[in-house]
């Protein structure tokens, strides 16, 4: 029987004090809801349903790239139990195991969810609740047990003082038997401090019916921290940062200070690479071996070969091959590709360009929409004038060309292999291979002019 996962993400998130739905707030580079969806998918759920409410369109758009995801809109937020009922009413009675998780709990490990499903299925329980013992249980539902059975979950607001003293709490992750959940969901009432339909009441209802409910304790409570406020978002981010960085270090990556390196979950970093402070590696970035990345670098969907240095540089949707040096202060974007041994130096921006093997763009240049061959040198201050206000135009620069400093290449334009451009030339026409193109007026020296001018203006003569 296929497993269904329901991710509840309709809540208002009042405590976030935000214009956006809570689950759209980012932990590292991705919204909370994406972490929650990823966890249940990795745990093996065949069918994933996201319950959306506040900011439904924003949440749907964020998750649009995930194939097969289903959405159910909970128009009125009447509680977690009501949210699950909306799913049943929209999609029909559940069959097989049903995992429920909350979109504001991004740290749950897929293995933990998988073990919970296995436990519920093998014990034929109506429900297995994942529980935790956090150092501060404030705000969490308490687990009431008798003879190894969970008899109720009581929300903090509804607890007696004795119940409030219980330290085992509801994590908000459950595995239900789908059939029994469908049949009994309507028994949930809203007679509680918040006037909401609580999913947690299913536990007490099952106990009344004599249906077995078990608790599965998760020893690492940090997996189950919920994000209800910006402070908790920062705490959760720190925990995830540490989890990812510890994994990378165990795989042979050096970090000068792991608290100052932020790496997304889909990033790979090769052995003996060093990540320096204030470095962010996001999206589907891959970094090879023996690189030094940072300080102050941000790579998003970047591919970095082996033996590269990336110093104070931003790389977005771009690729650098082995032994490429970037920075300090380069910006590579828009499907730029630097081939082996190429260089993008200081205050250099490269957009949608290919820089051939061993070619160098060392200082203060903008190169856009350009196909550059191997062994090219671009003199400092050179610019491809690719935009005429309407279209982006293309430049080609052949192998071994030498572009003089401050050359303007007005695209569309082709510079042949081995050609030279004179410093400060504005190149508006194609340059044949091996030619020199020079476009500047002749220099005139007016003897003694500067000295006479000083005299005229009463400036002290030069010693």
Catalytic positions: 363
Q: Does residue 226 touch Ca ion according to CB under 5 A?
A: yes
Question: Which of ligand UD1, Ca ion, none is residue 398 near (CB under 5 to 8 Å by kind)?
Answer: none
CA neighbor of 427 nearest in space, from 446, 444, 407: 407
For residue 251, count other CB atoms closer than 10 A to its CB. Answer: 12
Query: 188 or 350, CB closer to ligand UD1?
Result: 188
Query: 191 or 455, CB closer to ligand UD1?
Result: 191
Task: Report the residue closest to Ca ion, judged by CB.
Answer: 226
Query: 236 or 403, CB closer to Ca ion?
Result: 236
- C-alpha 243/C-alpha 252 separation (Å) is 15
Q: HSE-up of 101 (CA within 13 Å, CB side)?
A: 38
Minimum Å distance from CB 69 to Ca ion? 22
Query: 172 or 264, CB closer to Ca ion?
Result: 172
Minimum Å distance from CB 394 to ligand UD1? 49
Minimum Å distance from CB 204 to ligand UD1? 12
Q: Does residue 21 touch Ca ion according to CB under 5 A?
A: no
List 104, 168, 319, 321, residue binding Ca ion (CB under 5 A): 104
Question: Which of ligand UD1, Ca ion, none is residue 174 near (CB under 5 to 8 Å by kind)?
Answer: none
Q: Does residue 204 touch Ca ion according to CB under 5 A?
A: no
Minimum Å distance from CB 104 to Ca ion? 5
Main-chain dihedrals φ then ψ at residue 272, nearest 5 degrees? 60, 20
Query: 228 or 424, CB closer to ligand UD1?
Result: 228
Minimum Å distance from CB 201 to ligand UD1? 8
Minimum Å distance from CB 226 to Ca ion? 4
Query: 192 or 424, CB closer to ligand UD1?
Result: 192
Report the site for Ca ion in 65-94 (rule: CB under 5 A): none
Contacting residues toward ligand UD1, per CB under 6 A: 8-11, 51, 53, 74, 77-80, 82-83, 102-105, 140-141, 153, 155, 169-172, 198-200, 226, 228
Interface residues with Ca ion (CB under 5 A) are 104, 226, 228
């Amino acid at each position: 029987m296929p497993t269904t996962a329901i991710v509840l993400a309709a809540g208002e998130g009042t405590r976030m004090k935000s214009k956006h739905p809570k689950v759209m707030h980012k932990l590292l580079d991705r919204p909370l809801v994406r972490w929650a969806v990823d966890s249940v998918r990795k745990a093996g759920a065949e069918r994933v349903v996201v319950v959306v409410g506040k900011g439904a369109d924003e949440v749907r758009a964020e998750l649009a790239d995930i194939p097969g995801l289903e959405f159910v809109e909970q128009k009125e937020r009447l509680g977690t139990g009501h949210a699950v009922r909306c799913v049943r009413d929209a999609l029909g009675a559940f069959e097989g195991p049903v995992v429920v998780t909350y979109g504001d709990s991004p740290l749950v490990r897929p293995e933990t969810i998988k073990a919970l499903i296995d436990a519920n299925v093998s014990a034929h329980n109506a429900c297995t609740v994942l529980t935790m013992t956090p150092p501060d249980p404030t705000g969490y539902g308490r687990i009431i047990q008798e003879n190894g059975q969970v008899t109720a979950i009581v929300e903090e607001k509804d607890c007696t003082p004795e119940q409030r003293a219980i330290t085992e709490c509801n994590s908000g992750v459950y595995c239900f038997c789908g059939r029994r959940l469908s049949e009994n969901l309507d028994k949930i009432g809203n007679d509680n401090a918040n006037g909401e339909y609580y999913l947690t009441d299913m536990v007490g209802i099952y106990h009344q019916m004599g249906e077995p409910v078990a608790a599965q304790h998760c020893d690492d409570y940090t997996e189950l921290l919920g994000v209800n406020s910006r402070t908790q978002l920062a705490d959760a981010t720190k925990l995830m940062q540490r989890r990812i960085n510890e994994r990378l270090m165990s795989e042979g990556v050096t970090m000068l200070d792991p608290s100052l390196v932020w790496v997304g979950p889909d990033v790979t970093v090769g052995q003996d690479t060093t990540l320096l402070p204030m470095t962010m590696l996001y999206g589907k970035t891959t970094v090879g071996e023996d690189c030094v990345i940072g300080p102050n670098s941000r790579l998003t969907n970047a591919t970095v070969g082996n033996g590269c240095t990336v110093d104070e540089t931003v790389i977005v949707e771009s690729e650098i091959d082995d032994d490429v040096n970037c920075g300090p202060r380069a910006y590579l974007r828009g499907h730029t590709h630097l081939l082996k041994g190429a260089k993008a130096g200081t205050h250099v921006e490269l957009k949608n360009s290919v820089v051939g093997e061993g070619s160098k763009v060392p200082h203060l240049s903008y190169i856009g929409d350009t196909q550059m061959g191997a062994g090219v040198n671009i003199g400092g201050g050179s610019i491809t004038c690719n935009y005429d206000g309407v279209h982006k135009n293309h430049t080609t620069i052949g192998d071994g060309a030498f572009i003089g400093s401050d050359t303007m290449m007005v695209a569309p334009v082709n510079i042949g292999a081995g050609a030279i451009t004179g410093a400060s030339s504005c190149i508006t026409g194609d340059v044949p291979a091996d030619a020199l193109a020079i476009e500047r007026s002749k220099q005139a020296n007016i003897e003694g002019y500067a000295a006479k001018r000083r005299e005229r203006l009463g400036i002290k003569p030069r010693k």
